[in-house]
């Protein structure tokens, strides 16, 4: 069995990120203030986030943005990441499709999150910030941020979703090894946390509760900025490094993708691999299909509504225009912790409305079955999140088997699963199940969306 890898030399590494906002036929709607309903500007956001991130967030003009030299230097520790032709997986499926994956699991932190953690901490440091805070679900973002904070000499405080902390204990050890302070959310350390625990003492935590707590800490602590690992536009800009490299690597392979697939939590790894290729759909008439694979138990892309909703459970954040299940949505305890968020990013939400991409829902058991096949053929144990992308890829490859089409499919392997072995253990023991959510439940949680 063969495996073919494509790597870029140092001089071929991208020196700019791609900002799809500049090229979108319809721009994303602006975030708005919950009370005044006025669109927010850079100054409104800059008391929470590093200012440069706010500038990028609202930049609908510049398609390419320079990567600071210091960030490029840290990228070179692990980039480029390999683009791999998955011959063994193709063979196992008996498909005529050509399957490629971009391997974002090969950095010391094990997921794509580090691509945005580095610039966010770099900009925070440049502005004289001493502390950064954030939330983390499965723990990949918290781990990446803790590392990036230590690289640029910042103190990090991380709120980790309680249920994920119990399911994935090693991730908090990783964060603490890099010097971060880690607290399970909801906690009694913030007003938001206390309110949530008072209402529901057994709340398992969600990205929504953890965001509320981290935002509260950032806005009540001097010299402390909040950072976010997904959902927002500037995160998708930083992650474009994935697709920009993949574009060059596909060229080395002599192919261009017919289909690009990534798993979907808030949209950062999806946007990262997809947007540089989508640019050619918008500008050059290419017809690549873009598929975002979300969990059946958290189906905001396919069954949510396009509304202005809060990004967090307590309602502290600005209102964001997005496909949402309602900010009070409590996802089932699936093992893909990074995909348990109630809403989609603003860019992706607009792109779905405009028909430039679409979502697909994958049941939990199918994702693990796909993960196992991938591990046994390609030798990499994927993160449960990434297994959603693999499952969607397998579906497409099997369609090709029926039609005989030699489609070129590219998917993003967003991370490895070596710290998720409890999940694999449960799957192998037959202890996992699917969680399908009913229309009535969705209608109920949508009641939490404010009327704008
Ligand atoms: C966080 C995470 C995701 C989901 O987040 P996106 O912003 O949607 O990319 C997917 N895979 C891995 C490995 C993650 O850590």
- The pair of structure tokens assigned to 246 is 């993949």
Average pLDDT, the chain: 95
Confidence of residue 338 (pLDDT cuts 50, 70, 90): confident
Measuring from atom 5 of ligand 1, which residue has the nearest CA? 265
- Ligand 1: which atom is nearest the Cα of residue 383? 13
Determine the average pLDDT of the residues in 244-253. Answer: 98
Instruction: Look at strands 98-103 and 408-413 and give their pairing.
Output: parallel
What pLDDT was estimated at residue 206?
Answer: 84
pLDDT band at 334 (very low <50, low <70, confident <90, very high): confident
189 CB-near residues (< 8 Å, 6+ apart): 183, 213
What SS3 state is found at 109?
coil
Residue closest to 268 by CA, chosen among 303, 244, 292: 292
Between the alpha carbon of residue 22 and those of residues 192, 237, 272, 339, the distances in Å are 36, 11, 15, 27
Q: How long a stretch of residues is the chain?
A: 452
pLDDT band at 3 (very low <50, low <70, confident <90, very high): low
What residue owns the CA closest to ligand 1's atom 1? 338
Bridge partners (DSSP) listed for residue 343: 324
Determine the number of helices (DSSP H) and then strands (DSSP E) in the chain: 18, 15
Protein residues whose CB sits closer than 6 Å to any atom of ligand 1 = 111, 113, 140-141, 230, 263-270, 338-339, 383, 385-386, 414-415
On the question of pLDDT at 36 being above 80, the answer is: yes
| C-alpha to C-alpha distance for 331 and 425, rounded to whole angstroms | 22
pLDDT range class, residue 356, cuts 50, 70, 90? very high
Q: What is the mean pLDDT of residues 349-365?
A: 98
pLDDT mean over 103-118: 96
Q: CA–CA separation, 241 vs 222, rounded Å?
A: 32
Distance CA 113, CA 202 (A): 29
- 206 versus 348: the higher-pLDDT residue is 348
Is the predicted pLDDT of residue 2 greater than 70, yes or no? no
Backbone φ and ψ of 256, nearest 5°:
-135, 135
Evaluate whether 260 touches 410 at the Cβ level (below 8 Å). yes
Residue of 230, 335, 352, 359 to test ligand 1 pocket, by largest number of atoms within 8 Å of CB: 230
Closest residue by Cα to residue 410 from 65, 83, 68: 83
361 forms beta bridges with: 294
Instruction: Identify the pLDDT of residue 414.
Output: 98
Q: Which of 338, 374, 386, 388 to mutate to test the pocket of ligand 1 (most atoms within 8 A of CB)?
A: 338
Question: Is the pLDDT score of 317 beyond 90?
Answer: no
Per-residue pLDDT tens digits for 274-286 = 999 999 999 999 9
Q: Is the pLDDT of residue 337 over 80?
A: no
pLDDT tens per residue across span 47-98: 999 999 999 999 999 999 999 999 999 999 999 999 999 999 999 999 999 9
Strand stretches in 311-357, DSSP E? 319-324
Contact 205, 185 (CB under 8 A): yes
Q: Read off the pLDDT of each residue in 34-58 and give the average, rounded to a whole number.
A: 95
Q: Which of 14-23, 107-116, 167-176 has the lowest mean pLDDT?
A: 167-176
Find the mean pLDDT for residues 207-235: 94
Residue 293 bridge partners (DSSP): 263, 360
Rounded CA-CA distance 244/237 in Å is 11
Q: Which atom belonging to ligand 1 lies closest to the Cα atom of 110?
A: 13
pLDDT at residue 323 tops 80? yes
> Given a cut of 60, is residue 405 above it in pLDDT?
yes
How distant is the alpha carbon of residue 98 from its chain centre?
Answer: 25
Token pair in block for residue 55: 């500038």
Indicate whether 196 pLDDT > 60. Answer: yes
Lookup: tokens for 36: 């005044």
Q: For ligand 1, atom 3, which residue shows the shortest CA distance? A: 338
Q: Average of pLDDT values for 19-33?
A: 97
Beta strands in 110-230 (DSSP E): 131-136, 155-161, 181-185, 224-226
**pLDDT of 316:** 83
Instruction: Give the containing element (helix H, strand E) for 452.
Output: none
134-156 pLDDT tens trace = 999 888 999 999 999 999 999 99
Arithmetic mean of pLDDT, 28-40: 94
Cα separation, 60 vs 27, in Å, equals 7
Q: Which two tokens stand for residue 292?
A: 């975002």
Query: Which residues neighbour 371 within 8 Å (Cβ) at sequence distance 6 or greater?
Result: 381, 382, 384, 386, 387, 390, 417, 424
Q: Cα(428)–Cα(430) distance, rounded to whole angstroms?
A: 5
HSE of 208, CA atoms in CB hemisphere, 13 A: 24
């Amino acid at each position: 069995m063969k495996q073919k890898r494509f790597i870029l030399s140092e001089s071929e590494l991208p020196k700019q990120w791609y900002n799809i906002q500049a090229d979108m036929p319809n721009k994303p709607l602006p975030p708005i203030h919950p009370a005044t309903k006025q669109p927010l500007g850079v100054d409104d956001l800059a008391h929470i986030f590093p200012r440069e991130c706010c500038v990028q967030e609202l930049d609908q003009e510049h398609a390419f943005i320079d990567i600071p030299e210091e960030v490029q230097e840290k990228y070179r520790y692990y980039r480029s990441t390999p683009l791999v032709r998955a011959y063994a997986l193709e063979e196992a499926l008996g498909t005529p499709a050509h399957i490629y994956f971009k391997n974002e699991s090969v950095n010391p932190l094990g997921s794509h999150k580090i691509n945005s953690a580095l610039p966010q901490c770099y900009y925070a440091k440049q502005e004289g910030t001493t502390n950064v805070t954030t939330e983390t679900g499965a723990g990949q973002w918290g781990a990446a941020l803790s590392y990036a904070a230590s690289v640029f000499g910042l103190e990090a405080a991380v709120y980790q979703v309680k249920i994920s902390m119990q399911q994935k204990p090693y991730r908090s050890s990783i964060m603490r090894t890099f010097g971060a302070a880690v607290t399970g959310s909801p906690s009694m350390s913030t007003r938001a946390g206390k309110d949530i625990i008072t209402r529901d003492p057994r709340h398992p935590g969600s990205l929504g509760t953890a965001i509320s707590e981290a935002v509260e800490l950032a806005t009540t602590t001097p010299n402390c900025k909040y950072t976010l690992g997904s959902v927002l536009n500037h995160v998708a800009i930083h992650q474009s490094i994935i697709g920009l490299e993949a574009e060059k690597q596909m060229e080395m392979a002599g192919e261009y993708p017919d289909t690009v697939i990534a798993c979907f939590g808030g949209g950062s790894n999806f946007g990262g691999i997809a947007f540089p290729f989508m640019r050619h759909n918008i500008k050059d008439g290419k017809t690549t299909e873009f598929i975002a694979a979300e969990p059946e138990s958290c189906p905001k892309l396919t069954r949510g509504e396009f509304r202005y909703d809060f990004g967090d459970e307590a309602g502290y954040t600005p209102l964001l225009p997005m496909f949402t299940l309602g900010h009070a949505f409590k996802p089932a305890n699936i093992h893909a912790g990074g995909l348990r968020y109630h809403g989609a990013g603003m860019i992706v939400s607009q792109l779905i409305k405009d028909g430039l991409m679409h979502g697909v829902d994958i049941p939990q058991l199918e994702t693990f079955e796909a993960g196992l096949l991938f591990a046994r053929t390609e030798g990499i144990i994927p993160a449960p999140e990434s297994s959603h992308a693999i499952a969607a890829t397998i579906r497409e490859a099997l369609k090709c088997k029926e039609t005989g089409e030699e489609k070129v499919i590219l998917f993003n392997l967003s991370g490895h699963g070596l710290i998720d072995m409890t999940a694999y253990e449960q799957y192998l023991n037959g202890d996992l199940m699917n969680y399908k959510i009913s229309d009535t439940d969705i209608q109920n949680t949508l009641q939490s969306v404010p009327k704008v």
